[in-house]
Structure 1
Amino acid sequence: MGLYIEAFIRADLDDLWTRTQEPSQHQRWDLRFTEIDYLPRTEGEPQRFRYATRVLPFLTIAGTGISAGEKERPDGTRTSALRFASRHPLSLLAEGSGYWRYVPDGDGVRFLTGYDYRPRWGAFGALVDRLILRPLMGWATAWSFDRLRLWLERGITPERALLNWLAEMAVRALTLTLAATALLKASSLALFGPFAPTMAFVYPLFLTLAICAALLKSPLACTPAARRCLRTPPTRAGAPRVLRTLKELS
Protein backbone atom coordinates (compact mmCIF):
# COMPACT_ATOMS: atom_id res chain seq x y z
CA MET A 1 0.00 0.00 0.00
CA GLY A 2 1.21 3.48 -0.78
CA LEU A 3 0.10 5.16 2.46
CA TYR A 4 0.26 3.78 5.98
CA ILE A 5 -1.10 5.40 9.16
CA GLU A 6 -1.30 3.92 12.65
CA ALA A 7 -2.65 5.27 15.93
CA PHE A 8 -2.80 3.71 19.37
CA ILE A 9 -6.20 4.44 20.89
CA ARG A 10 -7.08 3.64 24.50
CA ALA A 11 -10.67 2.63 23.92
CA ASP A 12 -12.98 -0.36 23.81
CA LEU A 13 -12.72 -2.30 20.56
CA ASP A 14 -16.49 -2.27 20.02
CA ASP A 15 -16.63 1.51 20.49
CA LEU A 16 -13.82 2.01 17.99
CA TRP A 17 -15.52 -0.31 15.51
CA THR A 18 -18.78 1.62 15.78
CA ARG A 19 -17.15 5.04 15.35
CA THR A 20 -15.37 3.86 12.22
CA GLN A 21 -17.95 1.58 10.60
CA GLU A 22 -21.13 3.64 11.04
CA PRO A 23 -21.25 6.21 8.19
CA SER A 24 -22.90 8.89 10.37
CA GLN A 25 -20.07 8.54 12.90
CA HIS A 26 -17.27 8.09 10.38
CA GLN A 27 -17.99 11.28 8.46
CA ARG A 28 -17.77 13.33 11.65
CA TRP A 29 -14.11 12.64 12.36
CA ASP A 30 -12.60 11.83 8.94
CA LEU A 31 -11.36 15.02 7.30
CA ARG A 32 -11.27 13.33 3.89
CA PHE A 33 -15.06 12.97 3.63
CA THR A 34 -18.02 15.30 3.92
CA GLU A 35 -20.69 12.64 3.40
CA ILE A 36 -20.73 8.84 3.56
CA ASP A 37 -23.92 6.86 2.83
CA TYR A 38 -24.53 3.13 2.57
CA LEU A 39 -26.44 2.04 -0.53
CA PRO A 40 -29.14 -0.70 -0.52
CA ARG A 41 -27.80 -4.25 -0.87
CA THR A 42 -29.09 -7.80 -0.91
CA GLU A 43 -28.13 -10.58 1.47
CA GLY A 44 -24.58 -11.87 0.94
CA GLU A 45 -23.37 -8.92 -1.12
CA PRO A 46 -20.58 -6.58 -0.02
CA GLN A 47 -21.75 -3.23 1.31
CA ARG A 48 -21.81 -0.54 -1.37
CA PHE A 49 -21.50 3.10 -0.41
CA ARG A 50 -21.36 6.61 -1.77
CA TYR A 51 -18.93 9.23 -0.51
CA ALA A 52 -18.54 12.93 -1.17
CA THR A 53 -15.87 15.49 -0.37
CA ARG A 54 -16.52 19.24 -0.44
CA VAL A 55 -13.35 20.65 -1.98
CA LEU A 56 -14.68 24.21 -2.22
CA PRO A 57 -17.97 25.80 -1.08
CA PHE A 58 -19.31 25.36 -4.61
CA LEU A 59 -17.51 22.13 -5.56
CA THR A 60 -18.25 18.65 -4.20
CA ILE A 61 -16.55 15.56 -5.62
CA ALA A 62 -18.37 12.26 -5.16
CA GLY A 63 -17.56 8.61 -5.73
CA THR A 64 -18.75 5.10 -4.94
CA GLY A 65 -17.22 1.97 -3.50
CA ILE A 66 -17.72 -1.43 -1.89
CA SER A 67 -16.61 -2.56 1.54
CA ALA A 68 -16.53 -5.73 3.61
CA GLY A 69 -15.38 -6.55 7.12
CA GLU A 70 -14.30 -9.38 9.37
CA LYS A 71 -15.56 -8.57 12.84
CA GLU A 72 -14.66 -11.86 14.48
CA ARG A 73 -11.23 -13.33 13.75
CA PRO A 74 -9.49 -16.19 15.62
CA ASP A 75 -6.65 -13.91 16.78
CA GLY A 76 -9.03 -11.31 18.25
CA THR A 77 -8.32 -8.69 15.58
CA ARG A 78 -10.81 -7.15 13.18
CA THR A 79 -10.39 -6.05 9.58
CA SER A 80 -12.35 -4.09 7.03
CA ALA A 81 -11.47 -3.37 3.43
CA LEU A 82 -12.81 -1.21 0.64
CA ARG A 83 -12.45 -0.36 -3.01
CA PHE A 84 -13.47 3.04 -4.29
CA ALA A 85 -13.61 5.09 -7.49
CA SER A 86 -14.75 8.49 -8.67
CA ARG A 87 -15.98 9.37 -12.17
CA HIS A 88 -15.98 13.09 -11.45
CA PRO A 89 -13.81 14.75 -14.14
CA LEU A 90 -12.18 17.05 -11.58
CA SER A 91 -11.24 14.23 -9.22
CA LEU A 92 -7.51 13.58 -9.43
CA LEU A 93 -8.13 10.33 -7.56
CA ALA A 94 -9.52 7.85 -10.09
CA GLU A 95 -9.72 4.58 -8.14
CA GLY A 96 -8.10 2.86 -5.20
CA SER A 97 -8.35 0.36 -2.39
CA GLY A 98 -7.41 0.06 1.25
CA TYR A 99 -8.00 -1.60 4.58
CA TRP A 100 -8.40 -0.91 8.28
CA ARG A 101 -7.03 -3.23 10.95
CA TYR A 102 -8.02 -3.26 14.61
CA VAL A 103 -5.40 -4.94 16.79
CA PRO A 104 -6.09 -5.17 20.56
CA ASP A 105 -2.93 -4.28 22.47
CA GLY A 106 -2.87 -3.99 26.26
CA ASP A 107 -5.24 -1.25 27.40
CA GLY A 108 -6.07 -0.08 23.89
CA VAL A 109 -6.24 -0.84 20.19
CA ARG A 110 -3.71 -0.34 17.42
CA PHE A 111 -5.86 1.17 14.69
CA LEU A 112 -4.08 1.20 11.36
CA THR A 113 -4.75 1.69 7.68
CA GLY A 114 -2.98 1.02 4.43
CA TYR A 115 -4.28 2.30 1.12
CA ASP A 116 -3.26 3.31 -2.35
CA TYR A 117 -4.93 4.78 -5.41
CA ARG A 118 -4.39 5.58 -9.08
CA PRO A 119 -4.40 9.24 -10.09
CA ARG A 120 -5.83 10.36 -13.42
CA TRP A 121 -4.64 13.04 -15.89
CA GLY A 122 -1.60 11.10 -17.04
CA ALA A 123 1.92 12.37 -16.32
CA PHE A 124 0.62 15.71 -15.07
CA GLY A 125 -1.69 14.00 -12.60
CA ALA A 126 1.12 11.75 -11.38
CA LEU A 127 3.30 14.80 -10.70
CA VAL A 128 0.54 16.69 -8.87
CA ASP A 129 -0.21 13.58 -6.84
CA ARG A 130 3.41 13.07 -5.80
CA LEU A 131 3.99 16.71 -4.88
CA ILE A 132 0.62 17.73 -3.42
CA LEU A 133 -2.21 15.21 -3.14
CA ARG A 134 -0.38 12.21 -1.67
CA PRO A 135 1.35 14.20 1.13
CA LEU A 136 -1.96 15.95 1.82
CA MET A 137 -3.87 12.65 1.97
CA GLY A 138 -1.29 11.19 4.36
CA TRP A 139 -1.49 14.24 6.63
CA ALA A 140 -5.32 14.33 6.54
CA THR A 141 -5.57 10.63 7.41
CA ALA A 142 -3.15 10.92 10.34
CA TRP A 143 -4.81 14.12 11.60
CA SER A 144 -8.21 12.42 11.41
CA PHE A 145 -6.98 9.36 13.30
CA ASP A 146 -5.78 11.58 16.14
CA ARG A 147 -9.07 13.44 16.06
CA LEU A 148 -10.82 10.08 16.48
CA ARG A 149 -8.47 9.22 19.36
CA LEU A 150 -9.40 12.42 21.20
CA TRP A 151 -13.08 11.63 20.75
CA LEU A 152 -12.75 8.13 22.20
CA GLU A 153 -10.15 8.78 24.90
CA ARG A 154 -11.12 12.23 26.16
CA GLY A 155 -14.66 12.78 24.97
CA ILE A 156 -13.66 15.74 22.77
CA THR A 157 -16.15 15.69 19.92
CA PRO A 158 -14.79 15.97 16.36
CA GLU A 159 -16.45 19.35 15.98
CA ARG A 160 -14.78 20.69 19.15
CA ALA A 161 -11.44 19.18 18.13
CA LEU A 162 -11.60 21.07 14.83
CA LEU A 163 -12.31 24.33 16.64
CA ASN A 164 -9.39 23.65 19.01
CA TRP A 165 -7.11 23.08 16.04
CA LEU A 166 -8.27 26.23 14.22
CA ALA A 167 -7.80 28.30 17.38
CA GLU A 168 -4.29 26.96 17.96
CA MET A 169 -3.33 27.55 14.32
CA ALA A 170 -4.65 31.12 14.57
CA VAL A 171 -2.54 31.78 17.69
CA ARG A 172 0.54 30.32 16.01
CA ALA A 173 -0.04 32.38 12.87
CA LEU A 174 -0.57 35.57 14.89
CA THR A 175 2.59 34.94 16.89
CA LEU A 176 4.57 34.38 13.69
CA THR A 177 3.19 37.53 12.09
CA LEU A 178 3.84 39.78 15.08
CA ALA A 179 7.31 38.37 15.77
CA ALA A 180 8.40 38.53 12.14
CA THR A 181 7.10 42.09 11.79
CA ALA A 182 8.85 43.23 14.95
CA LEU A 183 12.06 41.50 13.89
CA LEU A 184 12.13 43.50 10.68
CA LYS A 185 11.70 46.82 12.48
CA ALA A 186 15.27 47.45 13.54
CA SER A 187 14.47 51.09 14.15
CA SER A 188 12.28 50.06 17.08
CA LEU A 189 15.45 49.45 19.12
CA ALA A 190 15.74 53.19 19.56
CA LEU A 191 12.75 53.02 21.87
CA PHE A 192 14.95 51.30 24.47
CA GLY A 193 17.18 54.37 24.86
CA PRO A 194 20.43 53.58 26.69
CA PHE A 195 19.58 49.88 26.70
CA ALA A 196 19.57 49.77 22.90
CA PRO A 197 23.01 48.09 22.60
CA THR A 198 21.92 45.29 24.92
CA MET A 199 18.55 44.95 23.26
CA ALA A 200 20.23 44.77 19.86
CA PHE A 201 21.22 41.26 20.92
CA VAL A 202 18.39 40.29 23.27
CA TYR A 203 15.48 41.60 21.19
CA PRO A 204 16.17 39.63 17.97
CA LEU A 205 16.98 36.53 20.04
CA PHE A 206 13.67 36.79 21.89
CA LEU A 207 11.72 37.23 18.66
CA THR A 208 13.56 34.35 17.01
CA LEU A 209 12.67 32.12 19.94
CA ALA A 210 9.03 33.21 19.64
CA ILE A 211 9.04 32.27 15.95
CA CYS A 212 10.60 28.88 16.70
CA ALA A 213 8.04 28.23 19.44
CA ALA A 214 5.16 29.07 17.06
CA LEU A 215 6.55 26.68 14.47
CA LEU A 216 7.89 23.82 16.58
CA LYS A 217 5.98 23.73 19.87
CA SER A 218 4.08 20.49 20.41
CA PRO A 219 0.32 20.76 19.86
CA LEU A 220 -1.91 21.09 22.90
CA ALA A 221 -3.26 17.84 24.34
CA CYS A 222 -6.79 18.76 23.20
CA THR A 223 -5.73 19.50 19.61
CA PRO A 224 -5.51 16.85 16.87
CA ALA A 225 -2.05 16.41 15.37
CA ALA A 226 -0.88 14.20 12.54
CA ARG A 227 2.57 13.94 14.10
CA ARG A 228 1.22 11.71 16.86
CA CYS A 229 0.55 8.89 14.39
CA LEU A 230 2.99 6.35 13.02
CA ARG A 231 3.48 6.88 9.28
CA THR A 232 5.76 3.94 8.46
CA PRO A 233 4.76 0.30 9.00
CA PRO A 234 6.90 -1.42 11.67
CA THR A 235 7.04 -4.53 9.46
CA ARG A 236 6.19 -5.26 5.87
CA ALA A 237 2.38 -5.41 5.83
CA GLY A 238 0.44 -7.36 3.22
CA ALA A 239 -3.12 -6.68 2.11
CA PRO A 240 -5.70 -8.62 4.17
CA ARG A 241 -7.65 -11.51 2.68
CA VAL A 242 -10.92 -9.57 2.69
CA LEU A 243 -9.40 -6.94 0.37
CA ARG A 244 -8.33 -9.63 -2.11
CA THR A 245 -11.91 -10.92 -2.01
CA LEU A 246 -13.23 -7.46 -2.90
CA LYS A 247 -10.87 -7.27 -5.87
CA GLU A 248 -12.29 -10.52 -7.17
CA LEU A 249 -15.84 -9.22 -6.84
CA SER A 250 -15.25 -5.87 -8.52
Structure 2
Amino acid sequence: MSQTGLYIETRIRAGLDDIWARTQDPAHHQRWDLRFTEIDHLPRAEDEPRHFRYATRVLPFLTVAGTGVSAGERERPDGTRTSALRFASPNPLSLLAEGSGYWRYVPDGDGVRFLTGYDYRPRWGRFGTATDRCLLRPLMGWATAWSFDRLRLWLERGITPERALRNWLTELTVRAVVLATAVAGLGVDSGGLFGPLAPLAAFLLPLISLVALSLALFAPPSPRTPAARRCLRTAPARARAPRLLTSLEQPS
Protein backbone atom coordinates (compact mmCIF):
# COMPACT_ATOMS: atom_id res chain seq x y z
CA MET A 1 0.00 0.00 0.00
CA SER A 2 1.40 3.42 -0.93
CA GLN A 3 1.69 6.36 1.42
CA THR A 4 -1.53 7.72 -0.04
CA GLY A 5 -3.36 4.42 0.43
CA LEU A 6 -6.34 4.14 2.74
CA TYR A 7 -6.26 2.38 6.11
CA ILE A 8 -9.29 1.74 8.34
CA GLU A 9 -9.43 -0.24 11.58
CA THR A 10 -12.17 -1.06 14.07
CA ARG A 11 -12.53 -3.41 17.01
CA ILE A 12 -15.57 -5.67 17.08
CA ARG A 13 -16.64 -7.59 20.17
CA ALA A 14 -17.80 -10.72 18.34
CA GLY A 15 -16.52 -14.14 17.37
CA LEU A 16 -13.98 -14.50 14.59
CA ASP A 17 -16.20 -16.93 12.67
CA ASP A 18 -19.15 -14.52 12.83
CA ILE A 19 -17.09 -11.61 11.49
CA TRP A 20 -15.63 -13.79 8.75
CA ALA A 21 -19.10 -14.90 7.66
CA ARG A 22 -20.53 -11.34 7.57
CA THR A 23 -17.60 -10.08 5.48
CA GLN A 24 -16.87 -13.01 3.14
CA ASP A 25 -20.45 -13.84 2.13
CA PRO A 26 -21.39 -11.39 -0.66
CA ALA A 27 -25.06 -11.41 0.39
CA HIS A 28 -24.01 -10.07 3.81
CA HIS A 29 -21.18 -7.88 2.52
CA GLN A 30 -23.33 -5.83 0.17
CA ARG A 31 -25.75 -5.09 3.03
CA TRP A 32 -23.28 -3.28 5.30
CA ASP A 33 -20.65 -1.92 2.90
CA LEU A 34 -21.72 1.49 1.57
CA ARG A 35 -19.23 1.23 -1.30
CA PHE A 36 -21.10 -1.58 -3.07
CA THR A 37 -24.66 -2.02 -4.29
CA GLU A 38 -24.24 -5.58 -5.60
CA ILE A 39 -21.56 -8.27 -5.22
CA ASP A 40 -21.81 -11.63 -7.00
CA HIS A 41 -19.31 -14.48 -6.88
CA LEU A 42 -18.59 -16.25 -10.16
CA PRO A 43 -18.20 -20.04 -10.59
CA ARG A 44 -14.70 -21.38 -9.89
CA ALA A 45 -12.70 -24.52 -9.22
CA GLU A 46 -12.20 -25.32 -5.54
CA ASP A 47 -8.46 -24.58 -5.56
CA GLU A 48 -8.70 -21.30 -7.56
CA PRO A 49 -9.01 -17.71 -6.29
CA ARG A 50 -12.58 -16.46 -6.24
CA HIS A 51 -13.69 -14.11 -9.02
CA PHE A 52 -16.57 -11.70 -8.52
CA ARG A 53 -18.53 -8.91 -10.13
CA TYR A 54 -19.50 -5.76 -8.27
CA ALA A 55 -21.69 -2.75 -8.96
CA THR A 56 -21.91 0.62 -7.27
CA ARG A 57 -24.80 3.04 -7.72
CA VAL A 58 -23.05 6.42 -7.92
CA LEU A 59 -26.23 8.35 -8.72
CA PRO A 60 -29.88 7.29 -9.04
CA PHE A 61 -29.37 7.05 -12.81
CA LEU A 62 -25.72 5.89 -12.88
CA THR A 63 -24.29 2.53 -11.81
CA VAL A 64 -20.69 1.55 -12.45
CA ALA A 65 -19.57 -2.06 -12.43
CA GLY A 66 -16.31 -3.96 -12.29
CA THR A 67 -14.71 -7.31 -11.66
CA GLY A 68 -12.34 -8.61 -9.04
CA VAL A 69 -10.43 -11.61 -7.77
CA SER A 70 -9.97 -12.51 -4.11
CA ALA A 71 -8.42 -15.18 -1.92
CA GLY A 72 -8.48 -15.80 1.81
CA GLU A 73 -6.39 -17.51 4.46
CA ARG A 74 -8.81 -18.79 7.06
CA GLU A 75 -6.22 -20.66 9.13
CA ARG A 76 -2.89 -19.00 9.91
CA PRO A 77 -0.26 -20.10 12.44
CA ASP A 78 -0.64 -16.91 14.48
CA GLY A 79 -4.44 -17.29 14.77
CA THR A 80 -5.23 -14.38 12.44
CA ARG A 81 -7.07 -14.51 9.14
CA THR A 82 -6.44 -12.60 5.92
CA SER A 83 -8.34 -11.81 2.75
CA ALA A 84 -6.83 -10.07 -0.28
CA LEU A 85 -8.30 -8.81 -3.53
CA ARG A 86 -7.60 -7.03 -6.78
CA PHE A 87 -10.32 -5.19 -8.68
CA ALA A 88 -10.84 -3.18 -11.85
CA SER A 89 -13.62 -1.34 -13.64
CA PRO A 90 -13.60 -1.02 -17.45
CA ASN A 91 -16.40 1.56 -17.31
CA PRO A 92 -14.95 4.89 -18.57
CA LEU A 93 -17.37 6.73 -16.27
CA SER A 94 -15.73 5.15 -13.23
CA LEU A 95 -13.02 7.38 -11.79
CA LEU A 96 -11.60 4.32 -10.05
CA ALA A 97 -9.76 2.28 -12.70
CA GLU A 98 -8.09 -0.53 -10.74
CA GLY A 99 -6.79 -1.27 -7.30
CA SER A 100 -5.95 -3.81 -4.63
CA GLY A 101 -6.37 -4.27 -0.92
CA TYR A 102 -6.68 -6.63 2.00
CA TRP A 103 -8.65 -7.39 5.15
CA ARG A 104 -7.05 -8.66 8.32
CA TYR A 105 -8.81 -10.29 11.25
CA VAL A 106 -6.73 -10.16 14.43
CA PRO A 107 -8.13 -11.76 17.62
CA ASP A 108 -7.84 -9.32 20.52
CA GLY A 109 -9.14 -10.35 23.93
CA ASP A 110 -12.94 -10.58 23.78
CA GLY A 111 -13.07 -9.21 20.25
CA VAL A 112 -11.34 -8.91 16.89
CA ARG A 113 -9.38 -6.09 15.30
CA PHE A 114 -10.84 -5.88 11.81
CA LEU A 115 -8.76 -3.73 9.48
CA THR A 116 -8.24 -2.94 5.84
CA GLY A 117 -5.61 -1.31 3.70
CA TYR A 118 -6.21 -0.55 0.05
CA ASP A 119 -5.19 1.70 -2.79
CA TYR A 120 -6.27 2.29 -6.36
CA ARG A 121 -5.38 4.12 -9.56
CA PRO A 122 -7.77 6.83 -10.79
CA ARG A 123 -8.38 7.45 -14.48
CA TRP A 124 -9.11 10.69 -16.42
CA GLY A 125 -5.50 11.96 -16.31
CA ARG A 126 -4.62 15.04 -14.31
CA PHE A 127 -8.26 15.95 -13.80
CA GLY A 128 -8.92 12.51 -12.35
CA THR A 129 -5.89 12.72 -10.08
CA ALA A 130 -7.00 16.09 -8.72
CA THR A 131 -10.61 14.95 -8.31
CA ASP A 132 -9.48 11.84 -6.50
CA ARG A 133 -7.24 13.76 -4.12
CA CYS A 134 -9.84 16.40 -3.28
CA LEU A 135 -13.07 14.39 -3.40
CA LEU A 136 -13.06 10.65 -4.05
CA ARG A 137 -10.25 9.54 -1.73
CA PRO A 138 -11.62 11.38 1.35
CA LEU A 139 -15.11 10.09 0.48
CA MET A 140 -13.87 6.51 0.11
CA GLY A 141 -12.06 6.70 3.44
CA TRP A 142 -15.18 8.03 5.17
CA ALA A 143 -17.47 5.46 3.49
CA THR A 144 -15.19 2.58 4.50
CA ALA A 145 -14.97 3.72 8.13
CA TRP A 146 -18.74 4.37 8.30
CA SER A 147 -19.38 0.91 6.87
CA PHE A 148 -17.01 -0.75 9.34
CA ASP A 149 -18.91 0.84 12.23
CA ARG A 150 -22.18 -0.24 10.64
CA LEU A 151 -20.84 -3.80 10.60
CA ARG A 152 -19.79 -3.48 14.25
CA LEU A 153 -23.30 -2.40 15.27
CA TRP A 154 -24.76 -5.39 13.42
CA LEU A 155 -22.49 -7.88 15.17
CA GLU A 156 -22.38 -6.30 18.64
CA ARG A 157 -25.89 -4.91 19.05
CA GLY A 158 -27.96 -6.78 16.48
CA ILE A 159 -28.79 -3.54 14.64
CA THR A 160 -29.29 -4.57 11.02
CA PRO A 161 -27.52 -2.54 8.32
CA GLU A 162 -30.88 -1.28 7.08
CA ARG A 163 -31.91 -0.13 10.55
CA ALA A 164 -28.50 1.48 11.08
CA LEU A 165 -28.93 3.49 7.87
CA ARG A 166 -32.36 4.71 8.99
CA ASN A 167 -30.91 5.68 12.38
CA TRP A 168 -28.16 7.66 10.65
CA LEU A 169 -30.57 9.45 8.29
CA THR A 170 -32.89 10.30 11.20
CA GLU A 171 -30.04 11.71 13.28
CA LEU A 172 -28.74 13.66 10.29
CA THR A 173 -32.20 15.16 9.75
CA VAL A 174 -32.54 16.13 13.41
CA ARG A 175 -29.13 17.80 13.39
CA ALA A 176 -30.02 19.70 10.22
CA VAL A 177 -33.31 20.95 11.71
CA VAL A 178 -31.61 22.02 14.94
CA LEU A 179 -28.85 23.72 12.96
CA ALA A 180 -31.32 25.60 10.77
CA THR A 181 -33.39 26.63 13.82
CA ALA A 182 -30.28 27.83 15.65
CA VAL A 183 -29.13 29.92 12.72
CA ALA A 184 -32.61 31.39 12.35
CA GLY A 185 -32.69 32.18 16.08
CA LEU A 186 -29.53 34.25 15.82
CA GLY A 187 -31.30 36.57 13.40
CA VAL A 188 -34.56 37.03 15.32
CA ASP A 189 -35.55 40.59 16.23
CA SER A 190 -36.51 40.05 19.87
CA GLY A 191 -37.79 43.59 20.29
CA GLY A 192 -40.78 43.12 18.01
CA LEU A 193 -41.72 39.69 19.35
CA PHE A 194 -41.33 39.85 23.09
CA GLY A 195 -42.32 43.39 24.02
CA PRO A 196 -41.41 44.11 27.66
CA LEU A 197 -39.35 40.93 27.82
CA ALA A 198 -37.24 42.01 24.87
CA PRO A 199 -34.07 42.70 26.94
CA LEU A 200 -34.19 39.24 28.49
CA ALA A 201 -34.99 37.63 25.12
CA ALA A 202 -32.14 39.55 23.51
CA PHE A 203 -29.80 37.88 25.99
CA LEU A 204 -31.32 34.39 26.04
CA LEU A 205 -32.11 33.78 22.36
CA PRO A 206 -28.52 34.11 21.06
CA LEU A 207 -27.30 31.99 23.97
CA ILE A 208 -29.85 29.23 23.30
CA SER A 209 -29.11 29.41 19.58
CA LEU A 210 -25.38 29.06 20.17
CA VAL A 211 -25.92 26.06 22.45
CA ALA A 212 -28.19 24.44 19.85
CA LEU A 213 -25.66 25.21 17.13
CA SER A 214 -22.89 23.56 19.15
CA LEU A 215 -25.02 20.48 19.82
CA ALA A 216 -25.95 20.11 16.16
CA LEU A 217 -22.34 20.32 15.03
CA PHE A 218 -20.36 18.68 17.81
CA ALA A 219 -22.60 16.35 19.86
CA PRO A 220 -21.38 12.74 19.63
CA PRO A 221 -23.43 10.38 17.49
CA SER A 222 -25.95 8.04 19.07
CA PRO A 223 -24.55 4.65 20.12
CA ARG A 224 -27.04 3.12 17.68
CA THR A 225 -25.87 5.23 14.74
CA PRO A 226 -22.85 4.36 12.54
CA ALA A 227 -20.04 6.91 12.71
CA ALA A 228 -16.77 6.96 10.78
CA ARG A 229 -15.09 8.83 13.65
CA ARG A 230 -15.12 5.68 15.78
CA CYS A 231 -12.60 3.97 13.49
CA LEU A 232 -8.84 4.34 13.39
CA ARG A 233 -7.85 6.03 10.13
CA THR A 234 -4.05 6.20 10.44
CA ALA A 235 -2.00 3.13 9.59
CA PRO A 236 0.58 2.00 12.16
CA ALA A 237 4.19 2.09 11.02
CA ARG A 238 4.31 -1.72 10.84
CA ALA A 239 1.27 -2.05 8.54
CA ARG A 240 1.98 -3.84 5.29
CA ALA A 241 0.06 -5.76 2.66
CA PRO A 242 -0.03 -9.56 3.06
CA ARG A 243 2.02 -11.79 0.78
CA LEU A 244 -1.23 -13.35 -0.37
CA LEU A 245 -1.91 -10.19 -2.39
CA THR A 246 1.11 -10.73 -4.64
CA SER A 247 -0.25 -14.12 -5.73
CA LEU A 248 -3.45 -12.68 -7.20
CA GLU A 249 -3.77 -11.93 -10.90
CA GLN A 250 -5.15 -8.65 -12.12
CA PRO A 251 -8.84 -9.12 -13.07
CA SER A 252 -9.61 -8.78 -16.77
Distance 1:115 1:189, change over 3 A: farther
Rounded Cα–Cα distance in structure 2 between residues aligned with 1:205 and 1:128: 40
**2:209 aligned partner, one-letter code:** L
Which of 221, 225, 228 lines up with 2:230 in the alignment? Answer: 228
1:128-162 per-position Cα deviation (integer Å, ceiling 9, x unaligned): 00000000000000000000000000000000000
Q: For residues 41-190 of structure 1, what are the structure 2 equivalents within 5 Å?
A: 41-185=44-188, 187-190=189-192
- Structure 1 residue 248: deviation in Å? 8.0
TM-score normalised according to structure 2 size: 0.95
Identity across the alignment (%)? 73
Distance across 2 between alignment mates of 1:71 and 1:92: 33
RMSD, aligned CA: 1.4
Name the SS for the 2:248 alignment partner: helix
Shift in Å at residue 247 of structure 1? Answer: 4.9
Give the Cα–Cα distance (whole angstroms) in 1 for the partners of residues 180 and 137 of structure 2.
29
SS of 1:113's partner is strand
Structure 1 CA distance for aligned equivalents of residues 28 and 46 of structure 2 = 24
Q: Of residues 27, 32, 39 in structure 2, which corresponds to 1:29?
A: 32
Q: Which consecutive residues of structure 1, in runs of 5 or more, have no partner in the other structure?
A: none
C-alpha distance in 1 between matches for 2:191 and 2:36: 50
Measured in 1, the distance between the counterparts of 2:194 and 2:74 equals: 68
1:87 CA displacement: 0.5
Quick one: distance in 2 between partners of 1:248 and 1:70?
Answer: 19
SS in 2 for 1:116: strand
TM-score when normalising by structure 1: 0.96
CA contact (8 A) 2:86 2:250 kept: no
1:85-122, CA deviations, whole angstroms, 9 ceiling, x for partnerless residues? 00011000000000000000000000000000000000
Out of 201, 210, 221, the residue aligned to residue 208 of structure 1 is: 210
Q: Structure 2: which 5+ runs fail to align?
A: none
* Residues 86, 172 of structure 1: alpha-carbon distance in 2 compared, 3 angstrom cutoff: same
Q: What secondary structure, in the 3-state scheme, does the structure 2 residue paired with 1:127 have?
A: helix
